[in-house]
Structure 1
Amino acid sequence: MPTTQLPDTASLRPDFIWGVSTSSFQIEGATQEDGRGSSIWDIYCRAGEIKNHDTGDVACDHYHRYREDIGLMTALGVQAYRFSVAWPRVLPQGDGPINEAGLSFYHRLIDGLLAAGIEPWLCLYHWDLPQALEERGGWLNRESAVWFANYASLIAARFGDRVKRFATFNEPSMFSLFSRSLGKRDSSSEDKLHRMIHNVNLAHGRAVDVLRANVINASIGCIHNRQPCRPSSASKADAAAAARLDVYWNAAFPDPQCRGEYPPSMRAAIEPHMQPGDLTQICRPLDWFGLNHYSPVYVKARADSMLGYDFGDKPPGVPLTPIGWPIEPDAFRQTLLAVHRDYGLPIYVLENGYGDFDQPDGTAAVIDPGRIEFLKAYINAMNEAASSEVDVRGYFVWSLLDNFEWDSGYSIRFGLSHVDYASLRRTPKSSFAWYAGLIKAMQR
């Protein structure tokens, strides 16, 4: 690719890591094979809650096609791959009997990555809680911290000889807010949200201790979705709503995990769920901060919602991706500066990407200039943050493949590789070649 099409990377470290990210439920498929148990997302999909009644039953069939997908990563030239383990694939009931067939899949995946010279970054939890544990209260049950620690112990024992990079959770603010806040109206919902936040934080701390004790040279972090929360209008009500959401979206997990304290405005609500020593258990030493960032969030006041907010209109003139997300690279730069200032940890950007509706053209090529321009602008912004002494050490594109995008099903696409869901054929997009060119240029 011509160098004029590449972003400025002059301020990035010589050992900067370029990678791609995926998650288990979004790509693996094989949801009823080799002893895998059901996850909460399997049940949600079967209830018909997803756009077009899509499910994760097949997804990208990564479970059977992982060698092909490693080949795509090799062609990209990435140094690292962030993936997640499906908890119900290895522990079908969440605890108790181990599913060796499920563990074998990840053994094969990890060995294949290492053989290709790609470092595996393993995330323990990307939203697919075993349904059996949900039926025992899920994250509302304080015992969930024990279940999660036991699961982490299994993963450490089986893979810690080859995997050194571990994330406890992906986006805990997202799965807590979207499952316990949005659309909730009953009087107990707010208490459930705070209980869930605290239990997930406890689970994080326990898992960190397990990984640290059982994996030699472990490098551990948690992955947080940080999106600036901005008022949708100049009204005081919208400003207050945005400030409230900012606490829950951006601070409810990293503050206790990295600073040993909850944000002041939510401490009274968390207090009923606290026991002596909890904050010490939550705030365990971490090696890095995992950052997912896409865009700012615009917020309006809504009196009948649980936290008094709803998503509001974007200001006129803000550029949008085809799926309606704001394109504001400077918000990314500001987020990197804020994370560096607030937590003082090395930062790895573990998700950043562009949603579209990409389809092959008449020559079967998938041309996605919008994604290239987005990635270029955001990497430029990251470079600007690095020039201001932000310790950013890696960047992972979301995602390697088009995949199951939660409530949107297969209707939107974030991948560097197009997936034809009928044939499961992978077709690298023009952004794939661009990203490969960037990585190659950085390695000269």
Structure 2
Amino acid sequence: MKTIFPMISLPSLVLAQQIFTPGQDPEPRPQCSSKGPSHPSYTFTPFSYTQTTTVRYASSRAVPTVTATYAPPLESLATLIPSQSYTTWGKWDPNATTSATDAENPYGNAAWTALWEYANPPNFTETAVYSTTVEPTPIPSDELVLPPADYFGPTDCYNFPKGFQFGVSSSASQIEGATAEQGKGPSLMDILFRGGVPTDYVTNEHYYYYKQDIERLAAMGVKHFAFSIAWTRILPFALPGTPVNQEAIDHYNDVINFVLEKGMVPEVTLLHFDTPIQFYGDNLTQALSDAEIGYVNGGYQNETFQDAFVNYAKIAMTHYSDRVATWFTFNEPLLYADNGKSIDNVIKAHARVYHFYKEEINGTGAVSFKMNNNFGVPKDPSNEADLYAAEHFNSFQLGPFANPIFLGKDYPESYKATIHDYVPLTAEDLAYINGTADTLSIDPYTATVITAPEPGNIQSILDCASNYSSPYRPYCVNQTTADVYGWNIGYRSQTYVYITPTYLRTYLNYLYNTWRHPIIIAEFGFPVYGEAEKGLSDQLFDTPRSIYYLSFMSETLKAIWEDGVEVRGAYAWSFADNWEFGDYDAHFGIQTVNRTTQERRYKKSFFDFVSYMRARDVD
């Protein structure tokens, strides 16, 4: 009997996937259309040292004359949320010899200290350079001299469309430091590495050094600065009705205002993995257990999570929406989703925040969320099982969010067949969720080569989906790094990332033609292999990272102009080397960071990236 396989139309997929086409060897050179003489003419001439070096300087952002606004100010929006109490706390010192005396206050310093004592972050030390906000200093001109150009470079002749958003990204837990200072409460990021992995709680000290960081970005000409707000700074006790941290409100006001002062545009993510510990209740080991869907249990499945997140989002938006151009509700929620309830809470919380922003605040900025997916490409594009496996993988990773939010459609079958406790969406749910994102925002770091668990066997994918003990769950495919001829799909980085520019173009086509929304490349970056072991001069001259950024942008231009894909912006991850969830060995930054002095240095890739964008009409 022939099995009928659900989910995809294979003939239509062939056009959407990377395919192998016969090539020529030697490679043709179409740019060399006219042939010169067949024999050169050799001559002796007087010798002199005539080679010169051109000194080029990065172009800083101009001081703005006007500042755009996207919503009324706080004074006009305060009535949209319940009356809030505002307070301040102190600094948690696990070695303190005195205790708080306000034990009768459920949200006082004693209760706040108890949160940290309960979290008990491993190996907690905060030996920081800064303890107060550092005032910025101008960037010396000799730091803004472009490095020697690579001999080979992009040859495209396209420009980016007017208004294309070029920026850099970051997240609070990876750069801020000041972990238990000025009232910040503990989050998942403070307890995640109990299993012996050393954690440095200082990170980049951006909490106190933000003005100098922003000054450095503006000096390089960057326009958009994407950062996340720490939920546990705004609400140390996380839940609705608990006090708001006045120092946190003031801090992020200052960050936003300084971004604007430097002629840049602030973009805010509300939750970038740093879930408050309250959503793990009296069992913090939940945070360390394996998640059924993603890699980490982010606590999204907690019954109180949805209302609490919406409350937090409303507080942040009423305070900052007049000046923030774009709001991302969640960063890569699939990676921190535990089960079906996690997905349900995320998409419904996101939709509620979108409706609040658009219909109550009447905001004119953008609202989205950031999805992850290392694009699955079939190992053998002529193999039906590989095509099926790639679509199964991509639809599972993206569809649970993208189907309801962008199309008003139900979860994909790949997800429903695998996650047996998924929460069904009613017609009313889909109507409310549909259209609640202005852009499809994606973090397309690389590609993944996909086959079925048993090569050539589509049924093995479906068998895995129904078998909780399968080692291939939850995605029920085999992920590899080599194509059908055994070649790795790109130059390898320090981590899972490979340089895969041609797959990016295919991916952008897949996204745009599947979910039919403008695309933002919200993060993309490359940790050069072994960079942490290199000397400073070699870290700065990071040509592989330059190749990654410029080739990805060249393919993005082809997708825009040759394929008709609407891509509205691209954000480099990250503006500086940072804490990559465990250590600092994976250097994604376009600046170095000296961990002793906190000094930053621009890398070659930063200059190359900015120069490429500016040459193609990006402001």
Query: Given the two structures, how large is their TM-score scaled by the length of structure 2?
Result: 0.64
> In structure 2, which of residues 404, 415, 429 is the aligned counterpart of residue 278 of structure 1?
429
Q: CA deviation at 1:273?
A: 2.3
Is 1:321–1:355's contact at 8 Å kept on the other side of the alignment?
no
Tell me how far 1:140 sits from its aligned partner.
1.2
Q: Which amino acid letter does the alignment assign opposite residue 372 of structure 2?
A: N
Q: Distance in 2 between matches of 1:440 and 1:393?
A: 16
Structure 1 residue 266 and structure 2 residue 448: aligned? no
Aligned residues of 1:232 and 1:313 also touching (Cα < 8 A): no
Kept after mapping to 2: 8 A contact 1:288/1:348: yes
Q: Is the 8 A contact 2:160 2:618 kept in 1?
A: no
Change (3 A) 1:403 1:415: same
Please point out which of 225, 236, 252 is paired with 2:372: 225
1:15: how far off? 2.0
Match of 1:37 among 174, 179, 185: 185
How far has the Cα of 1:98 moved from its partner?
A: 0.9
3-state SS of paired residue (2:349): helix
RMSD over aligned CA atoms reads 2.7
Q: Counterpart of 1:380?
A: 554
Could you tell me how far apart the structure 2 residues matched to 1:379 and 1:317 are? 23
Tell me how far apart the structure 1 counterparts of residues 362 and 205 of structure 2 sit (CA, whole Å).
Answer: 30
- Of 441, 462, 487 in structure 2, the residue corresponding to residue 317 of structure 1 is 487
Which of 44, 51, 54 is the equivalent residue of 2:199? 54
Q: Is the 8 A contact 2:550 2:609 kept in 1?
A: no
- Taking the TM superposition and a 5 Å limit, the aligned residue runs for 1:182-197 are 193-197=339-343
Q: 1:337 to 1:275 in 2, by over 3 A?
A: closer
Q: Which residue of 2 aligns with 1:304?
A: 471
Which amino acid in the other structure matches residue 358 of structure 1?
Answer: E
Kindly tell me: are residues 49 and 210 of structure 1, through their superposed partners in 2, closer, same or farther at Cα, counting changes over 3 Å? farther
Kindly indicate whether residue 572 of structure 2 is the aligned counterpart of residue 397 of structure 1. yes
Q: How does 1:121-270 map to 2 (within 5 A)?
A: 121-135=267-281, 138-176=299-337, 180=338, 193-212=339-358, 213-230=360-377, 242-260=390-408, 261-267=410-416, 269=419
Q: Which of 252, 257, 265 in structure 2 is aligned with 1:111?
A: 257
Aligned partners of 2:498 and 2:247: how far apart in 1? Answer: 42
**Is this contact kept in 2: 1:161–1:215, CA < 8 A?**
no
CA contact (8 A) 2:341 2:421 kept: no
User: Highest Rg: 1 or 2?
Assistant: 2
SS of the aligned residue for 2:183 comes to: coil
Q: Deviations over 1:178-220 (max 9, x none)?
A: xx3xxxxxxxxxxxx2221111111111111122222531311
Q: Secondary structure at the match of 1:140?
A: coil
The 3 A distance-change label for structure 1 pair 154 and 329 is same
Aligned to 1:421: 595
Q: Which has the higher helix share?
A: 1
- 1:237 is displaced (CA, Å) by 7.6
AA partner of residue 199 (structure 2): D
Gaps of 5+ in 1: 181-192
Alpha-carbon separation, structure 2, partners of 1:37 and 1:363:
39
Distance verdict in 2 for CA 1:143–1:427, change over 3 Å: same
How many pairs align?
Answer: 424
Does the C-alpha gap of structure 1 residues 275 and 339 become closer, same or farther in structure 2, counting only changes over 3 Å?
closer
Structure 2 letter corresponding to 1:390: V
Instruction: Evaluate the alpha carbon distance shift between residue 143 and residue 365 of structure 1 in structure 2; reply closer, same or farther with a 3 A threshold.
Output: closer
* TM score, norm. by length of structure 1: 0.87
User: CA shift at 1:281, angstroms?
Assistant: 3.2
The one-letter code matched in structure 2 to 1:415 is: G
Name the SS for the 1:406 alignment partner. coil
- Structure 2 Cα separation of the partners of residues 9 and 219 of structure 1: 30
Q: 2:248 aligns with which of 102, 106, 109?
A: 102
Residue 612 of structure 2 aligns to a residue in which SS? helix
Provide the secondary structure at the position in 1 that maps to 2:522: strand
**Mapping of residues 340-359 of structure 1, within 5 Å:** 340-356=512-528, 357-358=530-531
Alpha-carbon offset, residue 17 of structure 1: 1.7
Of 425-434 and 241-250, more deviation after overlay is shown by 241-250
Aligned counterparts of 2:154 and 2:256: Cα–Cα separation in 1: 31
Tell which deviates more after alignment, 271-280 or 222-231: 271-280
Query: Deviation digits for residues 159-192 of structure 1, max 9, x if unmatched?
Result: 011113111111122222xxx3xxxxxxxxxxxx
Could you tell me how far apart the structure 2 residues matched to 1:396 and 1:299 are?
A: 27
SS at 2:300's partner residue?
helix
Q: Give the Cα–Cα distance (whole angstroms) in 2 for the partners of residues 164 and 362 of structure 1.
A: 36
Kindly state the Cα deviation for residue 221 of structure 1 after the two structures are TM-superposed.
Answer: 1.3
Q: 1:292 — aligned with what?
A: 443
State the Cα distance separating 1:339 from its structure 2 match.
1.5
Instruction: Say if 1:348 and 1:70 are closer, same or farther in 2 by CA, change over 3 A.
Output: same
CA distance in 1, matches of 2:546, 2:222: 17
Give the Cα separation in 2 of the matches to 1:11 and 1:436.
Answer: 14
* 1:20–1:78 Cα contact (<8 Å) kept: yes
What SS is found at the alignment partner of 1:290?
strand
CA distance 1:271–1:134, change in 2 (3 Å)? closer
Distance 2:549 2:158 in 1: 16
How far is the alpha carbon of 1:65 from its aligned partner? 0.7
1:327 corresponds, among 499, 507, 510, to 499
Change (3 A) 1:7 1:132: farther
The DSSP-based 3-state class of the residue aligned with 2:531 is coil
Cα deviation 1:334-365 (Å, max 9, x = unaligned) = 11111211222221111111112435647587
CA contact (8 A) 1:12 1:393 kept: no
Name which structure has the greater RCO, CA cutoff 8 Å, separation 6+.
1
Using the alignment, how far apart are the partners of 2:348 and 2:537 within structure 1? 52
1:9/1:426 CA distance change after superposition, 3 Å: farther
Aligned letter for 2:564?
E
Partner residue in 2 for 1:188: none
Specify the SS of the correspondent of 1:252.
helix
Instruction: Quote the Cα distance in structure 2 between the aligned partners of 1:362 and 1:28.
Output: 23
- Partner SS for 1:415: coil
- In structure 2, give the amino acid aligned to 1:128: D
Instruction: In structure 2, list runs of 5 or more residues that go unmatched.
Output: 1-145, 287-298, 454-463, 465-469
> Partners of 2:498 and 2:303 in 1: how far apart?
37
Selected match of 1:28 from 157, 161, 176:
176
Deviation at 1:73?
1.0
What is the aligned partner in structure 2 of residue 183 from structure 1?
A: none
Q: In structure 1, what is the Cα distance between the partners aligned to 2:332 and 2:577?
A: 20
Change (3 A) 1:362 1:412: closer
The aligned amino acid for 1:334 is T
For 1:35 and 1:7, the matched residues in 2 are separated by 52
Q: Find the residue that maps to 1:273 and give its secondary structure.
A: coil
From 214, 227, 245, the equivalent of 1:70 is: 214
How far apart are 1:299 and its partner, in Å? 4.4
Distance 1:263 1:9, change over 3 A: farther
Q: Following TM superposition, by how much is the alpha carbon of 1:282 offset from its aligned partner in structure 2, in angstroms? A: 2.6
SS at match of 2:313: helix
How big is the shift at 1:265? 3.2
Match of 2:290 in 1: none
Q: In structure 1, what residue type is equivalent to 2:411?
A: Y
